[in-house]
A and B are shown apart, each in its own frame.
Chain A
Amino acid sequence: MASAAAGSTAAVPFWRAAGMTYITYSNICASLLRSCLKEPYKSEAASREKVHFAISKWANGKPEKPSKTLSHSFFASFIVSCRAGL
């Protein structure tokens, strides 16, 4: 069992190399699965992936920049970030 060689055959190194964490990876999978649902359930599931919060980074006892607000559905943001990355 050469674990290093075996590790390279799995999907993990690829999305790790893309700078994703397991959380992002599993969320993308979940989002794809939700998009496979049929209509009355689909929009209901879509309401469960709404993301909204305001985050601000602090340095030297002060908030560094005006806080950025995230507000979108998860999958849309994924597509946007993919386009920006590619």
Chain B
Amino acid sequence: MAMAALRRGGRRFLLSPSLPNSFNTAEMAISSEEFGVFGARSISTQVVRNRMKSVKNIQKITKAMKMVAASKLRAVQNSTENSRGVWQPFTALLGDSRSVDVKKNVIICVTSDKGLCGGINSTSVKVSKAVAKFTSGPEKETKYVILGEKGKVQLVRDSKNNIELTISELQKNPLNYTQVAVLADDIIKNVQFDALRIVFNKFRSVVLFMPTVATILSPEAVEREAEAGGKLGELDSYEIEGGETKSEVLQNLSEFQFSCVLFNAVLENACSELGARMSAMDSSSRNAGEMLDRLTLSYNRTRQASITTELIEIISGASALEG
């Protein structure tokens, strides 16, 4: 009986310093095992082994996800870089009047449908909320149009009364202009606005995304701004070809600008999402590797400890018989 107590005490003494404090779960699992069977001969390493197996599986999954994101990224990055040429002429012509003060603001928050991609969705949502605060005021109205499930989930919590439209499943097929144009058309037809503010993550590199706001004015707002002067005032120096009046041309232009800018925004965000997923998955597989190293170490130490205990028992038993 005393022997058993000694053994248990000895084991506890051997076990506890070998496990680093940061690794609480394994420690707890082992000590609960210790209390499980009274006077068991050897320590069960089953729990640690199972955990090692699951960590290894998780690492495999995250590695695979990283590879998938990397291969998808290449195609999307290409089309994103090509699509930048689509909105640049518009900005050259109409400027980006982000400080414009209008009554009905609609914020288009571009997010992704899937998670596990770092902080890009929360960045989009945070910037959208900041823009909403910035544009709100007496007699003003701010509404949200949300692209993607993740943004919807976050914005429903505190501003669900301001949501006008939600759109998801955009990325089932590879993104193309026709799709985004049909979507832009739906937004124009369903939402009343003076200014649209598109919030998205602009892709710089695989690890760098810039939260960006693009502003698109309604035709009436463009005309008002044009009269006020500034960049838009220079529109009068252009000669309009064909039979259309200026307001018609402006309406066409602003509609087309919206679909083009939205197309670029959706692509940039998809690109940022894949880049963010790549780096997130990279760091999580590295973390899994570190965890696995720590687990292996503690597993081996425990094994060694139980062998040592058994040896001591045998030797002391033998010497007791001799002496």
Q: Which A residues are within 8 Å of any B CB, using their own CB?
A: 3-4, 6-10, 12, 21-24, 26-27, 30-31, 48-58, 60-63, 67, 69-70, 74
Contact = CB atoms under 8 A, between A and B. Distances in A.
A27 B173 CA distance: 18
Interface of B: 160-161, 163-170, 172-173, 176-179, 181-186, 188-190, 242-246, 248, 251-252, 255-256, 258-259
Given A50-B173, A61-B163, A10 B242 contact: yes
Q: Name, among A31, A50, A69, the residue most crowded by chain B CB atoms within 10 Å (CB to CB).
A: A50
Given A22-B251, A48-B177, 20 more contacts: A3-B245, A21-B255, A22-B255, A23-B181, A23-B182, A23-B185, A23-B255, A23-B258, A26-B181, A30-B178, A49-B176, A51-B178, A51-B182, A52-B169, A53-B167, A53-B170, A58-B163, A58-B164, A58-B165, A74-B182
Contacts of B242: 10
A39 to B, nearest CB: 20
Contacts of B170: 52-53
Contacts of A24: 185
Main secondary structure of the interface of B (DSSP, over half): helix
A26 B190 CA distance: 19
A3 B259 CA distance: 27
Given A23-B181, A54-B169, A58-B163, A48 B188 contact: no
Nearest to B251: A22
Given A55-B167, A57-B164, A61-B163, A27 B243 contact: no
Nearest to B189: A21
A55 B248 contact: no
Contact of B185 (A12, A21, A57, A58): A21
Nearest to B179: A51
Contacts of A74: 178, 182
A49 B178 contact: yes
Contact of A27 (B160, B168, B178, B186): B178
Contacts of A23: 181-182, 184-185, 188, 255-256, 258-259
17 contacts: A4-B245, A6-B244, A6-B245, A7-B243, A21-B185, A21-B189, A23-B182, A23-B258, A24-B185, A27-B182, A30-B178, A31-B178, A48-B177, A52-B172, A54-B167, A54-B168, A57-B190
Contacts of A67: 166, 168
Nearest to B260: A23
Query: Lowest 4 A-B CB distances belong to which pairs?
Result: A10-B243, A61-B160, A6-B243, A49-B178
Point out which of B161, B178, B186 has the most chain A C-beta atoms below 10 A from its C-beta. B178
A15 to B, nearest CB: 10
A12 B248 contact: yes
A8 B190 CA distance: 27
